Every structure is written in C-alpha cells, then in structure tokens.
Amino acid sequence: MIGKLFNNRMAFFGLTVLFFLFILSALSPVLAPSPPGEQNLARRLSPPCRRHLMGTDELGRDVFSRILYGGRISLSVGFVAVGISLLIGVPLGLAAGFYGGAVDSAVMRVVDVMLCFPTIFLILMVITFLEPSIFNVMIVIGATSWPSLARYVRGEALAVREREYILAARMMGVRPWRILAVHMLPNVIAPVIITATLGVGSAVLTESVLSFLGLGVQPPDPSWGSILAVGREYMGQHAWWLILYPAAAILVTVLSFNLLGEGLRDLLDPRLSGKKDDRSPA
C-alpha cells in the first residue's frame, strides 16, 4: 500500500512537503533565529536579507521566525479541528445509516439545516459570541465542519448495513453498538481517512481566514493569517514579503493536504480504482 502511494507522484509530493513542514514546525524553537515576539523597532519593515531571511514586520519581528511558529499553530488547529469533526460526524453518520427511521431523519434534518449556511459565515456567526482564541477557533471549526462528513459516512453505512454479515450479526442478537464498532466502522474507515486528510487543509485555510479578519489567533501569537493582515496594511510601503511568504505557506500547506488526500482516494477507494481499471486498455 505504501509503495502504491509513493508511485503516485502528486501524492508523494504532497506527503514529502508535509513531512518537511512538520519537521520545520517541530524544530521551530531551534531553527528560528529569534523568538517570534522579539521586537526591534530599529529594523522595522526591513526587506529579506542574510540576517532576516524573510524580512521583518512593522514591529521589527523576524518574519521567518513567525512563519515557523505560525505553522505549529495552523497545523495544530487543523488536526484538532478535524479530530473534533470526526468525533461528532462519524458516530452520527453511522447511527443514521444503521438505525434509519426517526434517527436518520433527525440527524439528516440537522445536517440539512447546517449545510444551508456557507461554512465560513456559520463559523463567523458562532465565533462572534465567543472570545477569539486558538482554542475557540479549534472548537468552532470542528463543531461546524462535521455535517458533510456525517452525510458521507451515512451513505457508506447505508450500503454496508445490507451486507450478509451485518444481517447475520443482527439475527444472532449481536448488540447494535458492537455491530457499529466491529463490523461497520472498519468498512467506512477508508473514506473517513480521505475526508479527514482533505479536511485538515480546509481547517488550516479557515483558521488563516479567521486570523486575517482578527477573529482567530490573537497577538502576540503568530499566525499566517495575521501576518497577511499586517501585510495588507503596509502594502503602500512595498512590504511585499509580508504578503508573499505567509500566502505561500498557506498555499503550499493546503495544496499538499489536497494532493495527499487525492492520492489516498486513488489508493483506498475501490470504486474509483475499479473505474480506472475499466478505462484501461485491454
């Protein structure tokens, strides 16, 4: 399986880039030339040079250090938010698909209502009632991104529940929770992994948008979105590095997660593999 993933060039590229991002983020206390909050007003808005590889911001803080530490925050938000989404969406989707009837109707009506609102507007509406912080950002993103996952898991559960071994387990009197955990969950885990991988990139992007708007990670903690917001204010002073580097970090991170997710889809989704085999020449 790992060999097949490596054979997918785009997925391998995404995995490689993410590996280096994780290493850089984990080693940011060692690699950063200065603490992310250290100010030097004498060198404010300095362009990239040997001393400051990505220049400095309006307070003379090293942008390279803030990009490294901002990566730790963005990746942490992405993984925690997706974890919260999985904890909500997977059980609800499994229960809706397995039980059907009133349970299915109740879960799907909630999903339909939440999907009526664009995700970013729903997040903005919720977070305006909370104090902006990294923990609230994690919770809000995770608590508002589970409906599409629940709908996807429900569809998979509906297909799995009619299989012979599920019907046999029901006839033998196996408890429903055991059928869900032992028999149904392993059969929907592959699409869940794919969706979670793509969801991390989406969560990173959402956190950057919230921080850009001043509703996400709050100063003095660094965030790619907040660095972009500062760069917008100083575009008139030609501080292009405050726009280029955080935007490139967001782009590369989100793109890498998407490429890895697409590679996992090719590898783990047998229906997609079957379609590819059908198109291949005899």
pLDDT in tens, 256-271: 999 998 888 877 765 5
Higher-confidence residue of 95 and 190: namely 95
Angle between helices 63-99 and 101-115 (to 10 degrees): 150
Q: Which domain covers residue 69, as residue numbers?
A: 25-31+52-270
Residue 225 domain-assigned (yes or no): yes
Record the tokens describing residue 164, joined without a space: 């012979």
The Cα 193–Cα 196 span in angstroms is: 5
Regarding pTM above 0.75, the answer is yes
User: What pLDDT was estimated at residue 18?
Assistant: 92
User: What pLDDT was estimated at residue 257?
Assistant: 93
Segment among 77-86, 97-106, 118-127, 186-195 with least mean pLDDT: 118-127
User: What pLDDT was estimated at residue 244?
Assistant: 92
Residue 43 domain-assigned (yes or no): no
Domains of the chain: total: 1
Contact 99, 157 (CB under 8 A): no
CA 215 distance to own-chain centroid:
18
Q: How deeply is 30 buried, as exposed, middle or buried, from its count of CB atoms within 10 A (0-12, 13-18, 19+)?
A: exposed
Residue 44 domain-assigned (yes or no): no
Residue 8 domain-assigned (yes or no): no
Residue 142 domain-assigned (yes or no): yes
Higher-confidence residue of 142 and 183: namely 142
Residue 146 domain-assigned (yes or no): yes
Residue 16 domain-assigned (yes or no): no
Residue 83 belongs to domain with CATH number: 1.10.3720.10
Residues whose CB falls within 8 Å of the CB of residue 176, separated by 6 or more in sequence, listed in order: 98, 99
Residue 11 domain-assigned (yes or no): no
